[in-house]
Amino acid sequence: MNALKIVRRVALLLMLIAPAAAWSATVVEVWKSPTCGCCEAWIAHLQKAGFEVKTHDVADPGVVRAVRGVPSALASCHTAMVGGYVIEGHVPAGDIERLLKERPRITGLAVPGMPSAAPGMDVTTGSRAPYATLAIDPDGRTHVFAEHAAGQ
């Protein structure tokens, strides 16, 4: 890793850590690569559900994912923060609403990979294949937060 890359990573870390306490619960901050189309479709899904979304285009969303405590096995195309929780991938707005209402002691939610029927993917695939939203426990383990059966 060269010096410029290190400087960039440190700057990103500071940007991520500093303003966390001031974030409103209903503003979703999203970090994604500038070319991610399905990320945009997921953002549109959140906005339709009433969330305010602040988008950050970054060269390497993987850095954000690592900093926010998302195990790499759960990786998807974008990482978001809302109400102090991390949201990895195409998590349905309804799951985020439930998360903010119940406020469980977890790190956040993840829909690993890019399931074809998850919000933002479904618009282009037309898929209704079942998938699950996982809760990320503070120790990095996961448990099922919500099952999304076909058509949900």
Provide, rounded to whole angstroms, the least separation between the CB of residue 138 and Cu ion. Answer: 26
Residue 132's beta-bridge partner residues? 147
Shortest approach of Cu ion to residue 114 CB, angstroms? 4
Residue type, 91: V
Q: Name, in order, each residue with C-beta under 8 angstroms of 6's C-beta and a sequence gap of 6 or more.
A: none
Q: Quick one: 9 or 125, whose CB is closer to Cu ion?
A: 125
For residues 54 and 60, what is the distance between their CA atoms, to the nearest angstrom? 17
Number of helices (H) and strands (E) in the chain: give both, helices first.
5, 7
* Residue 114 binds Cu ion, judged by CB under 5 A: yes
Nearest approach in angstroms of CB 16 to Cu ion is 21
Nearer to Cu ion, 19 or 37 (CB): 37
Window 48 to 67, contacts with Cu ion (CB under 5 A):
none
Residue 118 interacting with Cu ion (CB under 5 A): no
From the list 23-31, 63-71, 112-120, 132-140, the region that binds Cu ion by CB under 5 A is 112-120
Cα three-residue angle 137-89-69, rounded to 5 degrees: 35
Q: Does 38 bind Cu ion (CB under 5 A)?
A: yes
Q: How many C-beta atoms lie closer than 10 Å to residue 143's C-beta? A: 10
Is the torsion defined by CA of 69, 74, 114, 63 positive or negative?
Answer: positive
Residues in contact with Cu ion, shown as a per-residue x/- string from 65 to 104 under the rule CB under 5 A: ------------x---------------------------
Under rule CB under 5 A, residue 117 binds Cu ion: no
Stretch that binds Cu ion, among 34-42, 79-87, 99-107, 122-130 (CB under 5 A): 34-42
Spatial separation of the C-alpha atoms in residues 14 and 146, rounded to whole Å: 33
Question: Which positions touch Cu ion (CB under 5 A)?
Answer: 38, 77, 114
